[in-house]
A and B are shown apart, each in its own frame.
Chain A
Amino acid sequence: MTLTELAQRALAEGISLGRLAVMLESEETGIPLAEIVGRVREMVRVMKSSVSEGLGHMEDSTPVRPGVFERARRSRTGLSGGDAAKVAGRIASGRNLPGNVLLAKSVAYALAVSEVNAAMGKIVAAPTAGSCGVIPGTFLALAEVSGAGEEDLVDALSAAGLIGQVIGERVGLSGAQAGCQAECGSAAAMAAAGLVQLAGGSPEDCIHAAAFALKGLMGLVCDPVAGLVEVPCIKRNATSAAVALASAEMALSGVRSRIPPDEVISAMAQVGRMIPPALRETSQGGLATTPTGLRVSHEMAGKT
């Protein structure tokens, strides 16, 4: 189904995109609606615990000397960890850019979840493990600021999932298939639509928000250093969260994508096919083959 058809159907039935998503899933699979909603609710809870796991260690080790937390939360390779704490610490001391609390929190939480993932903690792949920080980062930051409750988050996550289904069917959701635009790009589009719904926007606002995010991240390559889900994936989750927020802001203001959302997805699919294999999760180009990227890769290989 197209995004336009889905938005029209939700509008005609007077339901949210999230509600439509769980209804369609129930119709297709025969799984009772309440069970599907329950599964999504469980994912929202895991997302919350991933964020607090990623940040919680900071609170534990703040009184201790600097660096203690970073060792505690580093990944198995030692390549990543501790950055969420830096951003969260700066917010806590009120030194973030003036008026930038929602964005700063989204960034901190997106980093937190992605760092938990790299450190072999529990996360929800949404849509993938490599892009698991964008949705919880933005959703939970907004919920904290706006006071949205758990059921609102469940509905927003369902709406995000519906957007992901359309992209998944027409483009794919793996870096190997279509580059990072299919992972962090899809995550940002899903998040943007969910944020719009959380803020009370219409189904049409949601799909345009998704289109803005896809346009903003179109062509993003997948070039992981040493083939690992760490560099640059973790920070791309944070920057993709910012794209999602900007996209939601535009859509909620009534801004419309000049290229219809479904045509944007078609363009994304075409771009995905045109991205050379070296930049599709094979670590044969981009950041993976910079002098530093190659050095890290050789060090990792030396460990095996």
Chain B
Amino acid sequence: MRLLDVLGPVMIGPSSSHTAGAARLGNIARILLGEPPIRARIILHGSFAATYRGHGTDLALVAGLLGFAPDDERIRDSFTWAAREGLEFSVETGDLGDVHPNTARIELTSRSGKGLSVVGSSVGGGKVEITEISGLPVSLTGEKNTIVATYPDKPGVVAGITSILAKVGVNIATMRVARSGRGKTAVCVIEVDQDIPEHVVQEVRRLPMIEKVIVVRAQ
């Protein structure tokens, strides 16, 4: 355990898992959508569902969707900010199945009509894990710089991405590929050790068949 894990994070209270982690989850969902959301449906599960009001989990998730960091004092007033920024949202409780007790499902729509659903858990100390992106199983913690690419399930796409990373000396720490079915939509989540320069992201975007490339930068 590192010194800077024991001390910190600097955060808005009252709970690292139910408040700071929730803000982070909302934040990653916004990044994965790739554009500011205008509509959000949030479903809270387990301990999130049972204690969200007292912990401000709902406020923190909405704040995250607005792009506020876990130490942003606007979290307290995030519902007012949502109205100002044109984000309509609903918060409900539900059973998301066999998942971590602190789990939320977030369904987002952007102004240009793009949709995305994310399932993520707050696993303690403000750390989070995204376990599902639009129905596909993934593992994304945001602790390392991460590339999330969506494309049709065809041979060679992953090789195209990894060869670009190899060329610029970006080392892959972990990688996971999932698809909705053979030849259907696939998602590739690649955690790397280095910074990912913008020109590398652009090069990946220009690969044939790539539909969407998102970079989640380490916090």
Between A and B, 11 residue pairs with Cβ closer than 8 Å are A39-B4, A120-B76, A122-B73, A125-B8, A126-B8, A127-B7, A129-B15, A130-B15, A157-B7, A165-B1, A227-B50
The stretch of A3-11, A166-174, A238-246, A249-257 that contacts the partner chain:
A166-174
Contact B8 A300 (CB under 8 A): no
Q: A123-B13, A124-B8, A126-B7 are in contact. Are A165 and B2 (CB under 8 A)?
A: yes
Contact B3 A165 (CB under 8 A): yes
Contact B7 A124 (CB under 8 A): yes
Q: A128-B125, A165-B2 are in contact. Are A121 and B53 (CB under 8 A)?
A: no
Contact A76 B15 (CB under 8 A): no
Closest to A80 in B: B14
B16 part of interface (Cβ distance < 8 Å): yes
The 8 closest A-B pairs by CB, nearest first: A117-B13, A164-B6, A228-B54, A168-B1, A229-B14, A25-B3, A227-B51, A161-B7
| A-side contacts of B3, CB under 8 Å | 21-22, 24-25, 36, 158, 161-162, 165
Closest to A124 in B: B10
- Other than A42-B10, A117-B13, give 4 A-B pairs with Cβ distance below 8 A: A124-B10, A227-B50, A229-B15, A300-B51
Contact B7 A120 (CB under 8 A): no
Q: How far is the CB of A197 from chain B (nearest CB, A)?
A: 15
Q: How far is the CB of A42 from chain B (nearest CB, A)?
A: 7
Q: A122-B71, A230-B54 are in contact. Are A40 and B13 (CB under 8 A)?
A: no
Closest to A24 in B: B3
Contact A121 B9 (CB under 8 A): no
| B-side contacts of A303, CB under 8 Å | 53
Contact A43 B14 (CB under 8 A): no
Contact B6 A77 (CB under 8 A): no
Q: A226-B54, A228-B54, A304-B93 are in contact. Are A168 and B12 (CB under 8 A)?
A: no
B183 part of interface (Cβ distance < 8 Å): no
A181 part of interface (Cβ distance < 8 Å): no
Closest to B18 in A: A229
Contact of A118 among B9, B14, B16, B71 (CB under 8 A): B14
A237 part of interface (Cβ distance < 8 Å): no
How would residues 179 to 195 of chain A score, 1 for a CB under 8 Å from any chain B CB and 0 otherwise?
Answer: 00000000000000000
Q: A158-B3, A161-B7 are in contact. Are A117 and B14 (CB under 8 A)?
A: yes
| B-side contacts of A13, CB under 8 Å | none
Q: How far is the CB of B7 from chain A (nearest CB, A)?
A: 4
Contact A75 B6 (CB under 8 A): no
B151 part of interface (Cβ distance < 8 Å): no
Closest to B60 in A: A120
Q: A124-B7, A129-B19 are in contact. Are A77 and B12 (CB under 8 A)?
A: no
Q: Which of A282-304 contact B (CB under 8 A)?
A: 300-301, 303-304
B59 part of interface (Cβ distance < 8 Å): yes
Contact B53 A76 (CB under 8 A): yes
How far, in angstroms, from A99 to B20 measured CA to CA in the complex?
40
Closest to B91 in A: A304
Contact A116 B8 (CB under 8 A): no
How far, in angstroms, from A173 to B8 measured CA to CA in the complex?
12
Q: Which of A270-285 contact B (CB under 8 A)?
A: none
Q: A164-B6, A165-B2, A168-B5 are in contact. Are A129 and B50 (CB under 8 A)?
A: no
Q: How far is the CB of A281 from chain B (nearest CB, A)?
A: 9
Contact of B13 among A36, A118, A173 (CB under 8 A): A118
B135 part of interface (Cβ distance < 8 Å): no
Contact B13 A174 (CB under 8 A): no
Q: How far is the CB of A91 from chain B (nearest CB, A)?
A: 24
Q: How far is the CB of A245 from chain B (nearest CB, A)?
A: 20
B52 part of interface (Cβ distance < 8 Å): yes
Q: Which of A114-143 contact B (CB under 8 A)?
A: 116-130, 132
A199 part of interface (Cβ distance < 8 Å): no
Contact A122 B56 (CB under 8 A): no
A29 part of interface (Cβ distance < 8 Å): yes
How would residues 261 to 277 of chain A score, 1 for a CB under 8 Å from any chain B CB and 0 otherwise?
Answer: 00000000000000000
